[in-house]
Every structure is written in C-alpha cells, then in structure tokens.
Amino acid sequence: MNKIYNPTPDTWSTLLERPTKTVDDIEFTVKEIFKEVQKKGDLAVAKYTSLFDGVSLDNYEVSQEEINEAIGLIANELKEAIQLAKSNIEKFHAAQKTDRVIIETTEGVNCWQEKRPIQKIGLYIPGGTAPLFSTVLMLAVPANIAGCNEIVLCSPPDKNGNINPAILYAANLCGVTKILKVGGIQAIAGMTFGTESIPKVYKIFGPGNQFVTVAKQLATQFGVAIDMPAGPSELLVVADDTAVPAFVASDLLSQAEHGTDSQVLLVSTSKNLIDAVEKEIQIQLDLLPRKAIAEKAIANSKLIYVENDSIALELINEYGPEHFIICTAADDFYIDGIENAGSVFIGNYTPESAGDYASGTNHTLPTNGFAKNYSGVNLDSFTKSMTFQKISKKGIQNIGKAIEIMAEAEGLQAHKNAVTLRLKTIEDEK
Amino acid sequence: MNKIYNPTPDTWSTLLERPTKTVDDIEFTVKEIFKEVQKKGDLAVAKYTSLFDGVSLDNYEVSQEEINEAIGLIANELKEAIQLAKSNIEKFHAAQKTDRVIIETTEGVNCWQEKRPIQKIGLYIPGGTAPLFSTVLMLAVPANIAGCNEIVLCSPPDKNGNINPAILYAANLCGVTKILKVGGIQAIAGMTFGTESIPKVYKIFGPGNQFVTVAKQLATQFGVAIDMPAGPSELLVVADDTAVPAFVASDLLSQAEHGTDSQVLLVSTSKNLIDAVEKEIQIQLDLLPRKAIAEKAIANSKLIYVENDSIALELINEYGPEHFIICTAADDFYIDGIENAGSVFIGNYTPESAGDYASGTNHTLPTNGFAKNYSGVNLDSFTKSMTFQKISKKGIQNIGKAIEIMAEAEGLQAHKNAVTLRLKTIEDEK
C-alpha cells in the first residue's frame, strides 16, 4: 500500500488523481446502436438483446405472473430486510419535500416557486451475478414520492430470459410501473427514443458499465436528462487515534471490493493509526471472496499522513470524495468544514455500507470529483422547479417603470411596449 | 401567420416541432480552441480575443477604477431600476433557502440532508449591442445568496477593450468577485481549464450564441457542470375572450424580437380572440425598431384553435413551453394542470417582460422542451445537496442485520463484514 507522509500542496493534484479511461472506441459502437434503435425500434432491440444477452424474447415486458413468481422465490428474511431499508429510504426522502415558496416581492407582485414531478422516469439496473436490487429502492422510492407518473425499469435478461427475482421483488414493491427485460446500450437508446415496447422517458437514472455510461451521456444529446455523470466508486476516510483500526480497514475493503478501479483513501493525523489499519487490511483481505478485486484496488489505495486537521480538511475538499467517513476527535470540525462530498458517515458505528443499503440516505452519489458541482440523487432529482407569477394592476404600476427603463437600456423595445400598453390602459381607466 | 384549427393529437408533434440546428461544423472549431486554451492558457486567450473581438489586452481583469468609472456613467434612473429588480430577485431567491432536513429513520440512525454552495461559479454574459445586465442580476444575486465563494464573470470586450458599463455596474452591485474581459469559446474554455488570468470554475451559467452553447456542452466533458442545455427562447400564450388582444399581441411580439428563431405560440378556445390578436400584431409590429427580426419570428408563429381547455392543456404539456402566459376564465385549471413549463405568467397584467426583469423570478429558464426535465435557474442551482449520517451502537444493532442480509444477497461480502465486525464488538463489550 502507498503511504505518503506530509505531501506538500503542490503535489496534491497528482496525489489525488483518479484513473481516467478513454471512451473513444466505445463511443462509435454506442452511436451506431442508437441510430439503429431510433430507426428500427424493437427490431434493433431484439438484435442486440440476442447479440449481447444471448437470448431471443417475444415479449420484453415482465408480466404480473413473473413478478408473482419472483415474490415467491425470495426468502422471508431478505424480504424483511428490503422492507426495512425501503421504510428508512422513504422516511428520509419524504422529509425532503418542500412547500410552495410564496412571496410578494413588491405590493401586487406575487411570485411563487413549486416543484412538480418529472412525468416519465427511466431506471437502469445492471444484470450480472450481483443483482443491484438496492439501487431499485434508491431510485424507485423517491420517484414514487415525487409523484412521477411513469417509472420504467430496464434490466438485462439472463440466458433464460429472466431478470433476477430480487430486482423484480423490489421493483414491484416500490411502484415501478413497467419492467422491461432490456439491457445495455439498447435499453438506454430505447428509453431515449421510445420503441414499440419501450416508452420514451424524460430522465434516466442508474448505474452501469462503460457502455451504459457512454450511452447515458449520448442520451443527453437527444434531450433526455440523466442523474449525473458516472465514474468509479470511491471512499475517503479521515481517522485518528479515536478510530477503531479494524473498522476503518473493513470500510476501506468494502469500497475496494466494488472493482479494481475503486478509489480508496485514508487521511490521518496519526501514523500509528495508518500502520494499524494497514495491518488490519492484510488480515481481513484474506477472508474475502472478492479478494482478487479488492487486492488490486487496495494496491492503488493511498494512506496519507498530514500534520493536522486543517491540512486534512483542505486536502479532502480538494478531492471531493463520493463517500466520506469521519472518525476523529474533531468530527464537528470536519462536518462543518466539508465543502465537497457526496455522503458523509460519522463515527465508529457508521459504516459506508449502512448508507449503501438501509440507513435511508441515497447511495447514488457523485463520484470522480463531481461532488464539487453535483448533488447525489435526492427527492428533487425527480422533480423540476417551476415559477409562477401573478401581478395586479397595482403591481404592474409599482414595477412597470423599472421594467421599461431596463428593457430600453437592453434595446428591447417590444419588451418595454408590453408594459407601456398595460400602464396606459390603467391610466385611461381612471 | 399560421392559423391552425382543431389539430388532431397525431399532428401535434409536427405542429409543435422546434427548429433544429446542426452544430457539427461549430463543434470542430470549439474543440480546437479548447485544446489550445488548455495547452497555452492566456496566450491562446489573447490570440482569440484579438481574432474574434479585434482587440489586444494587457490585462483581462476589470480594475476597480474601471468599475468606478462605469458606475459614474449609468443614469440614476437606470440605477434605481436595477436596484428595484435586484431587491425583488433577492427576496424571491432568499425565500428559496431550505433548512437542514433531519430525520431519525430508525432509533439510533440519524440522517440529514444539507445544501452547501458550489464554491466556484462562472457567469458568461454576451457582449454586443444589447448588454444583458439583467442576466447578471439573475445569476449573481442567487449565487451570492447561496454563498458561492468565487463568482467569476466573463464578457467580451468591445473594440476599445471595454465591457458595457451597465454590466459592470450590475456585476459590482451583485457581488461578482472577478470580472474578466474575455468572450466566446475562449472564455468558456478558460473557465473550464483555468489560465493564468481566468480561474477554473465548477459550474458555468449564462446565455450565448451557438459557439458559446457548444462550448458549454463541451465543458461538461471536462467535469464542469452547466446551468442547462440551451435553445431558442419561446413563449406560449393560452388566452380566451377574457384576455385583452393588444396585451397578448404585445407579449407575443416581445418574445418575437429576441431572434428570428424565437418560438411564438398562441393557443385559444376562441376564434375571435385569435383574429383580434392577429390584427393587433400587425398594428404593433410596424412600430418596433427590431421589426425585421420580430417579423420573421412572427411569420413562423402559430395561432392554434382548440375546442376546449382540456385539449389545450394536453397540447401545452406536450410542448412544455419556456414561458407560459395564462389569460383565461379558467386560470386555476391551467395553473393546477401545467406539468411542463419554465415560468408561468398569470392574468392580463402579468407580461412576460415582468419576469425577464423585475418581478423577482429568474429569467434563465429551460427552453426547447427541456421544461419536461430541467428546472429553471433557482437558488438550488448554486448549491449541491449533501447527506450526512451518524449511527449509534443501538442504531447499527437495529439495522445491521438487514444490511448484512442485503449485502450478502448482492454478493458483497466486505460490505457485510463492515457491519458484522461492529456488531460483534458491541456483543463482546457486553
């Protein structure tokens, strides 16, 4: 593991560099499939489902029968776990509802702001060996609270033409309105253009491999919004001698098992803690089934010693971690001072995996430094803010002159006229 | 003008089509300039400032002296108008502040959501004959309320190396921290990468020509966020016999004078109203200094008659107008039912120009159908939402088992371990 002591600020940007990937090759493939799905609809979807998923389907939509069957397949203890998680996610996201903001800015000038649901939402859930049903919860629950009308979920079928039952169970539980057995680029293209089977949506959410990531980027060029730009998952822990080294090691490893490109950083004002965590990692690593993956990510991880909390905070804000665990004697200093982070986990008993599954916070978070300028998924991600205004005669008399002067100064005479005409009518009525 | 009576729903998408532009040619130029600015910094900025703006500058930053001079040049009545507008914009956007959302989702599991400012903001304000100082207000005022640390403004210099005094006055009044005489692609590239003179920012706001629009899109590929995708400005008015035809005409014309590609639509359940508005447009058009522009936009405009308010609302939601004026006997029906619109103006005395300048609502709004999935600029545009969680021993005992079960079902053993270790430690302490 890489230990770095007291790095000088001029080395931070290199030290904190994330692995970058080139997507040029992928882009061509993605564009071709988009063109084909736009032109041929389900025919193209069928072609690529056969090519990439190795299966031919007569019907892409999951039937109520299939859902019922899936429900029967899920162990009760998993059902209960999912229900507990759902309940917490619901509570936290429902609390994010905001009232209409109403204000009379000048007498007779009433303005208000309101959030209304994005009507058509698409969720992408990857397939494969690890069925990400937790992501179904994280996306469908707030979409439902927001009042989105259509919530479409696409996930690739396996060789037998099925979607993992845990995904179906969660989707059904959380109010997804249509579940489709379509994966990869063809799913994103389908939700972008609409096909005979796949509804066109206004915003696409969810994780995916590089192909899905590039496809989501491309979708934005066709007027579809996406949750946020993607990148490899990452965790930064700041810890001192008040932290339990075994806990810190377990958190770093839980991040590391996501993929070989996962980013794992420990920042500490204690060299002892760094050494202790390093030892614990070796012990715990050997016991992991995904050891091969975690080992590679850990090899690229960095354990950074700095002199004091102020320097640590500055460095952390420069990085802007997706997940940020604070376990120090100065927790409040970090809580108050953190400017850029996706989700923050505080204290010895708050592992990142709590937020990944069941505490109630969302696990779809900005990575790759995007915590500097993007929010994690939250209730507002499923709404858009609209403004309204209603001005009385008195109101336009109060602000009309200012509008006329400003419009004239900007050279927009017709803007001025729209006010002048109204003011004149009010004068004439007198 | 194009009058359409009772269009059938299957013709709506063609009827409501917006003009599309190809940006392929521009893209190449923009990419080249980005590369050069990234590599050569101020040298490249100087080259393109000389090429596009026809001026060589020793110093891009506007000095306090220049600002003071500009303040002296602005007429008092314009200053007062700007101050009134600023005050209303401030009131409306300050009211949008939200409290920390705190919730104990399960006993011992405390989660909260907080909005923190995006630290570095870039504003782009176009130059030319019409100085858009109103846009300075619309962007700098909420940035300031949000608490953004750096607010950089770029605007192209004129041939004498100056920025319009009204822009400088507004920028200074609204707390812009640095004003730079840099325009076009080189300004957006400069704020994306940072140069010796131009600070790198995290999010870029503001309007611009096609070059600026494409440059902002490209900036997102380098990790910079932007306010929203751009398109030609548009207005849809729904009006019936309760509307004053002259007022409706003046609003349609104020939209039409923006540019020949402006979108202007009138939807009505009254053929009389449509005819009366058409006549009024001809009368008012002749008096406009920007007649040539407005005339072309009006020629492409559409006056659409529909049988009843329900059909009108459905058609309007399909379009998703940037600006939406409601002037009917059924105002509440439209207010409640509108799903997709940027900003809504209600009643005979609420011209769109009120919202453009001084009512307090923001005039940076989603156009081109983006009202379906994007918010207009508001206070939240300058913040990002972060989540926090602190779990007690009791808390992890309450949700730990659910996390273990879910992590295991997703095949993520290290995620499970992070919880198991903690639960075991609590058990051992007993």
pLDDT tens for each residue of B292-318: 888 988 988 899 999 999 999 999 999
pLDDT tens for each residue of A236-286: 999 999 999 999 999 999 999 988 888 899 999 999 999 999 999 999 999
The pLDDT of residue A232 is above 90 = no
Which of A251, A277, A384, A413 should we substitute to test contact with B (largest number of B Cβ atoms within 10 Å)?
A: A384
CA B240 to chain centre: 30
Phi (first) and psi of residue B416, to 5 degrees: -65, -45
pLDDT tens for each residue of A398-419: 999 999 999 999 999 999 999 9
Fold agreement between B24-226 and B392-429 = no
Chain A, 340 to 359: residues with Cβ < 8 Å from chain B are 340-359
Res. A230 pLDDT band, cuts 50 70 90: confident
Which residues of A belong to the active site? Answer: 322-323
CATH class name, domain B2-18+232-360: alpha beta
ipTM of the complex: 0.96
Query: Is B83 within any annotated ligand binding site?
Result: no
Q: Taking all residues of chain A, what is their mean pLDDT, rounded to a whole number?
A: 95
Chain B hits for A230, CB-CB cut-off 8 Å, are none
Chain A, 32 to 51: residues with Cβ < 8 Å from chain B are none
CA distance A12 to A156: 41
Percentage of residues in chain A having pLDDT higher than 90: 85
Is B209 an interface residue toward A (CB < 8 Å)?
no
CB-based contact B57:B194 (threshold 8 Å): no
pLDDT tens for each residue of B100-141: 999 999 999 999 999 999 999 999 999 877 789 999 999 999
Q: What is the 3-state secondary structure (H, E, C) of chain A?
A: CEEEECCCHHHHHHHCCCCCCCCHHHHHHHHHHHHHHHHHCHHHHHHHHHHHHCCCCCCCECCHHHHHHHHHHCCHHHHHHHHHHHHHHHHHHHCCCCCCEEEEEECCEEEEEEEEECCEEEEECCCCCCCCHHHHHHHHHHHHHHCCCEEEEECCCCCCCCCCHHHHHHHHHCCCCEEECCCHHHHHHHHHHCCCCCCCCCEEECCCCHHHHHHHHHHHCCCCEECCCCCCCEEEEEECCCCCHHHHHHHHHHHHCCCCCCEEEEEECCHHHHHHHHHHHHHHHCCCCCHHHHHHHHHCCEEEECCCHHHHHHHHHHHCCCEEEEECCCHHHHHHHCCCCCEEEECCCCCHHHHHHCCCCCCCCCCCCHHHCCCCCCHHHHEEEEEEEEECHHHHHHHHHHHHHHHHHCCCHHHHHHHHHHHHHHHHHC
pLDDT tens for each residue of A42-79: 999 999 999 999 999 999 999 999 999 999 999 999 99
The pLDDT of residue B22 is above 70 = no
Query: What number is the average pLDDT over the span B263-284?
Result: 96
Query: What number is the average pLDDT over the span B181-198?
Result: 98
Domains of chain B by residue range: 2-18+232-360, 24-226, 392-429
The pLDDT of residue A20 is above 80 = no
**Amino acid found at A95:** A
Q: Which of B103, B166, B342 sits opposite A91 (nearest CB)?
A: B103
CB-based contact B135:B106 (threshold 8 Å): no
- Chain A residue with Cα closest to B401: A81
Place of tokens 């990148």: A231
The pLDDT of residue A203 is above 90 = yes
Query: What number is the average pLDDT over the span B184-197?
Result: 98
The pLDDT of residue A110 is above 90 = yes
CA distance B424 to B420: 6
Looking at residue A18, its pLDDT comes to: 80
Cβ neighbours of B69 (radius 10 Å): 13
CATH class name, domain B24-226: alpha beta
Q: Which of B229, B356, B411 sits opposite A129 (nearest CB)?
A: B411
Domain B392-429: assigned CATH number: 1.20.5.1300
Is B13 an interface residue toward A (CB < 8 Å)?
no
CATH class name, domain A2-19+232-360: alpha beta
Res. A108 pLDDT band, cuts 50 70 90: very high
Domain A24-99+117-226: assigned CATH number: 3.40.50.1980
Chain A hits for B134, CB-CB cut-off 8 Å, are 406, 410
Is A1 an interface residue toward B (CB < 8 Å)?
no
